Amino acid sequence: MDEREEQETQSEQEEVEEQEPEQEEEQEQEEEEPQTEDSEEENEEESEEEEEEEEEEEEEEVEIPIKRAYKAEMYKSKEELPKMIRIEASTICQLHCPSCYMRQDPEGVAKGCGNGMLSFENFKKIVDDNNFVEIELSNHGEIFLNPELVKMIEYAYQKNIRLTAENGVNFNKLTDEQAEALVKYKFGRIIISIDGASPETYKKYRVHGDFNTVINNIKKVNALKEKYHSEDPILRWKFILFGYNEHEVEKARQMAEELNMEIEFVTNWDPDFSPCKDLEQVKRLTGVEGETHTPYSRLKQFRKGEICWYYCNFLWEAPQINWDGQILGCCSLYKENFGGNVFEEGLLNALNNPKMLYAKNMITGKAPALKGIPCTTCYVYEDLVRNGGKLWVPSPNSKWNKFKAFINKFLKKNEEEPEEEYQEEESQEEEN
């Protein structure tokens, strides 16, 4: 190749090199041109999907540190498991109460506990695999909407297990078969939410509910109790105190007596919905302070022995299980679970899930808050933290509580023994 040809090839290469940047610039300009609405929506959807995937990855990557000290909360055998559980018969409800998070937060429900019902097959499975003495069936929904409820009631009776619905029912739907099963198979206690003593007052909170239907269902059960000469089920009227219903307190008390029902008055947990107006009169008539209690103030009452329950203690005493087997822990959680599933891996393995072990140490003040633990986003735990962590939930597995349990057992044994010795001495004297 001569010098002239070399110069021509060099000039051609330079032209190509000059054209390539120009083409790249044109492509970039085309990409920078305004996008159509469709393409913008597609990009937004893609970015949202990417964010969701990133969040899921982050959740999966969270490691739960289980120190040796945390393992004190671990169950070592099935014999150590709680003898009472709470299992959701139905998260579905036909009412639409203004302050009910289950009805007001459908996205949270869909992400967490979901809408569904416990099957008899799964109920039978968990009963057969464990040694329960009591099962609570009510939680986020209405148990009487479950079409297999009668089979569960009968099976629990055969297994000598007491069933309760103490978290509450609305009692707007009760078939004749269900009513008879409640009495015939000795269902324990049922707490019926009736926030008023008249149809007009009742429907202000129990939206889509019917006061007269509820009262008639109570009468139906009472008639069957007379027929079977049974005291079960015990029916309890739960009256949430609001500003619009405080004038019907006495009327409700009288109606409860006529219906052979216990009655309890409780404060409204939502301070923004119809707070009580005359707090002094409410306390005088019911013995209950009309002001809303915070989780922190409730914990102080619990530790003083003024109330016999506290939200977080369910993790030990009666863990909440969802209708599909998820471990929810307590009645306050519905958006997240602790990772275990009792129908797939059994109760022992599910309750020994690292998240559950860490949560127990977290709410007792032994471990810091950790992302991925359901309690971290719970309003109860948030209120305890808001108060500076001055007071925490007492663990029954702490050395002090175990020591107290041992002393109580020892004292009880000593109280019983002298009586037996005294009876033996009496019988010997009679023989002589």
pLDDT of residue 390: 77
- The proportion of the chain whose per-residue pLDDT surpasses 70, expressed as a percent, equals 76
pLDDT of residue 176: 98
d(CA 406, CA 408): 6
**Residues β-bridged to residue 239:** 265
pTM of the model: 0.77
d(CA 38, CA 44): 10
CB atoms within 10 A of CB 119: 17
Listed range (36-40, 134-138, 268-272, 395-399) with the worst mean pLDDT: 36-40
Beta strands in 77-125 (DSSP E): 84-87
d(CA 94, CA 143): 11
| Across 393-397, average pLDDT | 84
pLDDT of residue 246: 93
| Across 405-426, average pLDDT | 50
- The proportion of the chain whose per-residue pLDDT surpasses 90, expressed as a percent, equals 53
| Across 396-418, average pLDDT | 55
Contact 331, 320 (CB under 8 A): yes
How do residues 215-257 score in pLDDT, each as one tens digit? 999 999 999 999 999 999 999 999 999 999 999 999 999 999 9
Please give the full DSSP string across 370-421, using - where no structure is assigned.
-TT-GGGG-HHHHHHHHTTT---PPPTTSHHHHHHHHHHHHHHHHHHHHHHH
Q: 422: which 2 tokens?
A: 């005294």
Question: 250 or 419: whose pLDDT is higher?
Answer: 250
How do residues 260-273 score in pLDDT, each as one tens digit? 999 999 988 788 89
Compute, in degrees rounded to 10, the torsion defined by CA atoms 49, 54, 56, 61: 170
How do residues 151-181 score in pLDDT, each as one tens digit? 999 999 999 999 999 999 999 999 999 999 9
110: helix, coil or strand? helix
The band of 134, judged by pLDDT with boundaries at 50, 70 and 90, is very high
The band of 106, judged by pLDDT with boundaries at 50, 70 and 90, is confident
